[in-house]
Amino acid sequence: MLNIDLYIGLSLIRRPSAAEHSQATLFVDAFKQSPVSGSRFWRGSASLDELLALLGRFLGRTRAREAMADYARQRGVKTVELLPADGATVHHAESLLTGAVGSASARVMIASVVEEEPLNFGEVMHIIDDASQVLAYSRRLEQQSRELEAATTELRDANVRLRELDQMKDDFISTVTHELRTPLTSIRAFSEILRDNPTLAQAQRENFLAIIIRESERLTRLINQVLDLAKLESGNTAWQFNQFDLREAIEESVNAMGQVFRDNRVTVQTHLPANAPDIVADRDRIMQVLFNLLSNAAKFCIEGEGRIRVSLTQGERVLRVDVADNGIGISPEDQAIIFDKFRQAGDTLTQKPKGSGLGLAISRTIVEHFGGRLWVASRLGSGATFSFTLPLMRNAAPRPAPGAAA
Amino acid sequence: MSARILVVEDDPNILLSVQFLLQNAGYTVQTAADGLQAWAALQADPPQLVVLDVMLPVLDGFELCKRIRAHAVCHRTRVLILSARGGEAEMEKSRQLGTDAHLRKPFATRDLLETVARLLVV
């Protein structure tokens, strides 16, 4: 009987072609292969050099040699080269590799250097399981990495937006500072001039005093508007909800501005329907919008022969107000910026336009608060029409024309 | 002959006040309402001093200052900046550009006249 506990042919064969290749033929008893013991014996022939090269690849050349030298000492062999490439050596190499690449991969790699080693079905299944686990894991990793990447992009975008907002805030403060300091500069300079030059001619005194008063008014207006806008934007505005007739509001605002129109020699025409349903909004705020649009129109009309046309029309769900002037018009580029804070049409011209540059920003905020829209239509050279809408109440009954029979 | 000063300022009221103050103190005053106008005047006949607003239309004060410093004809021209933004960054930029003095708006008229006098003596 064959002694199944012993390797047969444990001889070291020197290949004539490669003298340094130590080679051994290994046999193992199939009955001895027990999964419980954890010892797997290899059958077939292996080259010690190939095992070392394989280990070196994953553990590093030095570490691989040291690990195998330890193993050689355990087996009572003097050097690694004298180590027999037998089943035990191959198994040890496999266990070393397992630590680095996982058991299934180690098994496949070792099989690649062990000739004539057939993998049995169970092993193949194990390898496949192992590999599919690795695949699933790497898919999960990939998915997570994609999610992480998306999150990173989102964060980066948010950061950019925050920085833009911060920049906008800085720009705003810087602009407000400039706009506040400018009238203050004239007020202080002319006050000191008047104080230090008591013998100024009457006409000059009056001119300087008029400038001080005008610039004080400009400063007051600006402060009020900056505060108003800050209040609107912070959401701390106490909005009123009044039910009112927009036609009346338009007539009232046009009448209230009569002096401004006369001073600027502007004629105003109103085109109001005989009746219109009430709307619900903050009446004072809507009046503020009307004043803003009317005074803008008066400011930018043709000098001396300004004409403004104010009309109210009823749409399906909204009332629409149009304020048209016959001024120089607004270029498409300027139309895009005039609703921004402190941006005005013709800002680059030598003659700065009048006003704070906040009126339209405030007006748009107000109209949008009540669910409406505010926009401009214009062509350079043929006037501008500012329009806004306000939504109608549901089931709103048209209010009869004043004095009309019910 | 009194020193000639170019005042560059786009706000007509501030321009008028500075012009009055300097003429009242005996200087000859030239004015410009934007950077390009000022640059043309500077090249034609550089004054001893430019009183310069920063936020100017067309060509801003700092850009004009760079041109003045790079232009040989203006090498004796002094630059006094009047700035309304008045942040620390603006003061620093002003220093880097080699301006001779920097006043923040609103200024005391006495400070303006003293600074002008000091710049024209040196």
DSSP annotation string for A4-53: TTS-S--PEEEPSS-TT-EEEEE---GGG-BTTTTB----EEEEHHHHHH
Residue A162 C-alpha, separation from nearest chain B C-alpha, in angstroms: 21
3-state secondary structure of A349: coil
Q: Which pLDDT does position A32 carry in this prediction?
A: 40
Cβ of A348 and B106 within 8 Å?
A: no
Give B4-107's CATH code, choosing from 3.40.640.10, 3.60.21.10, 3.40.50.2300, 3.90.800.10: 3.40.50.2300
Cβ of B106 and A188 within 8 Å?
A: yes
Can you name the residues that pair with A277 across neighbouring β-strands? A398
Q: Which pLDDT does position A354 carry in this prediction?
A: 58
Q: Which pLDDT does position B55 carry in this prediction?
A: 84
Q: In 3D, which of A86, A9, A102 has the Cα closest to residue A46? A: A86
- Give B98's pLDDT tier (boundaries 50, 70, 90): confident
- Which chain A positions have a beta carbon within 8 Å of B107's beta carbon? 185, 188-189
Q: In 3D, which of A332, A363, A338, A368 has the Cα closest to residue A353? A: A338
Q: Which pLDDT does position A356 carry in this prediction?
A: 66
**Nearest-angstrom CA–CA distance, A36 and A234:** 74
Residue A281 C-alpha, separation from nearest chain B C-alpha, in angstroms: 38
What one-character-per-residue DSSP string does A169-225 give? Answer: HHHHHHHHHHHHHHHHHHHHHHHHHHHH-TT--HHHHHHHHHHHHHHHHHHHHHHHH
Can you name the residues that pair with A281 across neighbouring β-strands? A242
The lowest-confidence range among A20-34, A343-357, B32-46, B90-104 is A20-34
Q: Which pLDDT does position A114 carry in this prediction?
A: 75
Mutate to test the interface with A, among B13, B20, B88 (most CBs of A within 10 A): B13
**Nearest-angstrom CA–CA distance, A174 and B103:** 17
Which residue numbers of B have CB closer than 8 Å to A's CBs?
10-11, 13-14, 16-18, 20-21, 24, 33-34, 37, 55, 57-58, 84-87, 104-110
Q: Which of A181, A192, A214 sits opposite B109 (nearest CB)?
A: A192
**Nearest-angstrom CA–CA distance, A47 and A26:** 11
Phi, psi for residue A280 in degrees, rounded to 5: -115, 115
Q: Report, in this order, helix, strand and coil percent for chain A, each rounded to 5.
A: 55, 15, 30
Nearest residue of A to residue B60, measured between CA atoms: A348
DSSP letter, residue A1: -
- Give B1's pLDDT tier (boundaries 50, 70, 90): low
B106 preceded by a cis bond (ω within 30 of 0) = yes
Low-confidence spans in chain A with pLDDT less than 50: 1-41, 347-352, 403-406
Q: Which pLDDT does position A282 carry in this prediction?
A: 93
**Nearest-angstrom CA–CA distance, A385 and A254:** 16
- Order the strands of the A266-271 sheet from edge to edge: A266-271, A306-314, A318-325, A384-391, A374-378
Those residues with Cβ within 8 angstroms of residue A44's Cβ, 6 or more apart along the chain or in another chain: A25, A26, A114, A115, A116, A117
Residue B15 C-alpha, separation from nearest chain A C-alpha, in angstroms: 9
- 0.85 surpassed by complex ipTM: yes
**Nearest-angstrom CA–CA distance, B21 and A208:** 12
Q: Which of A185, A350, A352 sits opposite B106 (nearest CB)?
A: A185
Give counts: helices (H), strands (E), chain A: 11, 13
Domain segments of chain B: what residues?
4-107
**Nearest-angstrom CA–CA distance, B105 and B52:** 12
Q: Which pLDDT does position A133 carry in this prediction?
A: 82
Nearest residue of B to residue A213, measured between CA atoms: B13
**Nearest-angstrom CA–CA distance, A327 and A308:** 9
Q: Which of B34, B106, B109 sits opposite A184 (nearest CB)?
A: B106
Do residues A360 and A245 lie in contact, with contact meaning Cβ atoms separated by under 8 Å? no
Q: Which of A182, A348, A349 sits opposite B14 (nearest CB)?
A: A182
Residue B58 C-alpha, separation from nearest chain A C-alpha, in angstroms: 6
* Residue A100 CA: distances (Å) to CA of A10, A104, A123: 29, 11, 19
**Confidence (pTM):** 0.60
Name the percent of chain B lying above pLDDT 90. Answer: 62
Q: Which pLDDT does position A379 carry in this prediction?
A: 85
- Which chain B positions have a beta carbon within 8 Å of A189's beta carbon? 14, 17-18, 21, 106-107, 109
Helix (H) or strand (E) holding A323: strand A318-325
